[in-house]
Amino acid sequence: MADEHDQDPLAVRIGAREIYDEVVGLREDVRTMGQQGEIVRQELADHETRIRDLERWKYALPIAVVSGVVAAGVTVVNATGKG
């Protein structure tokens, strides 16, 4: 049977060292992916905080605009009433 594999030009032999090297490489890849996943989770939490802050201010801006228009209107009325 060994002669059969030796003569087959398409036969591939994978030794224990090659398997070990691949397992070590995979372990490092998984470790790197875990670290990247943690970074992504931190960035996601930061983005959620920023979005919540923006949502909080989305009501304040229209109120500020209405207040400014009312104040300008009162100023115009007072200026024309006194004039």
Helix (H, G, I), strand (E, B) or coil at 8: coil
13 φ/ψ sector (left φ>0, alpha ψ -120 to 50, else beta): beta
pLDDT at residue 71, rounded to an integer: 93
pLDDT at residue 7, rounded to an integer: 76
For the chain, which residues score pLDDT lower than 50? 83
Predicted model pTM: 0.42
Q: pLDDT for 45-67, tens place per residue? A: 999 999 988 887 778 888 888 99
pLDDT at residue 82, rounded to an integer: 59
Q: Tell me, what amino acid is at 71?
A: A
